[in-house]
Structure formats: C-alpha cells, structure tokens
Amino acid sequence: MDTDRSRHAPLEPFDGAGRTLVMGIVNVTPDSFSDGGQWFAPDVAIAHAALLRTQGADILDVGGESTRPGAERVPVDAETDRVLPVVRALAADGAAVSIDTVNARTARACVEAGAMIVNDVSGGLADPEMAHVVAETGAPYVLGHWRGDPATMNDLSRYDDVVAEVRAELSERVDAVLAAGASPDQIVLDPGLGFAKDGADNWRLLARLDALRALGFPVLVGASRKRFLGALLADGTGTPAEPLARDRATAAVTALAASAGAWGVRVHEVLGSVDAVRVASAWADAGVSS
C-alpha cells in the first residue's frame, strides 16, 4: 500500500477557504434516521453527492453504517461494498471525499480509493487499528467523542460537567492517536453531539465550542437533524419535529458554529448551511473592518 503521507498534505487543501467548511452527508445505508435509505443504491448516492457538491458542499462525507441509537452493526465487508463504488466515483470526479466509518479496514480501503479524510465518530475506540491506519496513510482524521456504540450509548450520558469531561476524553483519544504515529496537524475534533449525550448536554457543548477549540485542533460540528433539534421544535403536544423539519434549525446552528470558529459543519441539507456560513463570514468581516 502507498503510505506516502505527502499525498494527503493534512488539512492543507481546506485551509484556503477562509471560512467554515460545509460537509455534505451521503448516507449509503438502508436505515439512516434522517433519510431512511433514500440514497442506498450506489448510482443514486453518487447522483445525490454530485448535487450536494453543486449546491456548495466542500466535502462529501460517505457512510455505509448507520450510527443512530439502537442501530445494528454492519459487517465490514458489507460496509466496504456499499461505500467503495461511491468513494471511487466521487474522487475520480475531483470531489473532496470523507469516509464516515469506525472500521480501520474500511478507512484504509477508501483512502486507497481516493478518500481524503477519515471521519470516525468513535475516535478510535471502536477499532484499535484505526489509529495506525490514520498514521500510516497520513489522512486528516476527524476524531469524534463517544462512550459506547449505538446499542449502549443512551445509557452512558451521565456527566458532572459535560464540557470538561468531553474535553478530557477527547484529549485522551488524541494522545492515543499521536502515540500511534499520527501527526497533530491531521486531527480535527468532533464533540459527538447526540452520542451518549442528552439535549442539554448538546446545547452546553455548542455554547462552549471555545473550550474545545482551546485544545488546539480544528472542530467539526455535526448537529444536523438530530433529536435535540427535534425536541426544541416540538409542537404543542410535545411531539418532536420530524427530521426533515429540522433543517432550518440546523442552518441556525451552522451560523452560530461558524461565528464561534468551527472548522466545519456536517449537514444533510447543504444550501441552508452554505448561506448560513456566508452570513457568519460577512458578519465577522464587517466587525474586523470596523
């Protein structure tokens, strides 16, 4: 395998944007909480990803395993079969592709197929080999906070100080990845909204992105269509808003996250977040010029 780290020039392809990046979600799964297998067929997923790209997505995040609460694990071979055709096609077309996986074998195969970024919501906890793959390939690595897999995470959302504890646990995972030989400039942190966190925990983490950024790494925010937004938008009977009805709230989070200095946002609906980033950038620029 080619392990020339210069191929990936960690995060440098994205430094020139001068703004928060928009990562468009491409779920190649039959059981996503948000789109229910709508893009499961490879040709449909490729077409959807191409549309997100024309709408302004900077990165296309391709995933073949749902991480919604209660989701069952997918065999690695099945996951790889789902995502590889999509990754290859998008990379061949010049797109910046991220592979959303907790499996080291899938990550390695997709980087070899042209993926530029590995997005691991488990931060290397699900597969001990992931840190070595990241180190060997040199691919930028989104390191997510989690305390358990989809079957167990809802039972692990107990914190005395969610910001301090998430910060400390992310730091531990960073140390593990660096110990495996990865470079600090490969790492992006993700606070793992919704992963072993209740609604109040998610809001506290969003309100304190500065504490996470103080660790010295870029931060990716993945709030799109998540349950805490559905709860916020609940109707008069207390029924949460459906996932597709959460996009405007997602765009609002994008604007605030961008204003707080987030490196990127991971979203299902790209157009609203592209506009939100523009608004945040204009607001910030006006403050500097005044």
Q: Mind telling me the catalytic residues?
A: 226, 266
Q: Give exposure, 83-108, as e/b (b: 16+ Cβ within 10 Å).
A: bbbbbbbbbeeebbbbbbbbbbbbbb
Both tokens of 271, joined, read 């157009």
Least Cα distance to 188 among 125, 126, 127, 117 occurs for: 117
Half-sphere exposure in the Cβ direction for 41 (13 Å, CA): 3
Both tokens of 270, joined, read 């790209």
| Counts for the chain of helices (H) and strands (E), in that order | 11, 8
In DSSP notation, 89-130 reads HHHHTT--EEEE-S-HHHHHHHHHTT--EEEETTTTSS-TTH
CA 210 to centroid of chain Cα atoms:
18
Are the CB atoms for 167 and 213 separated by under 8 Å?
no
3-state secondary structure of 201: helix
Are the CB atoms for 224 and 270 separated by under 8 Å?
no
Pairing type for strands 59-63 and 97-100 reads parallel
How far is Cα 153 from Cα 107, in angstroms, rounded to an integer? 23
How far is Cα 39 from Cα 262, in angstroms, rounded to an integer? 28
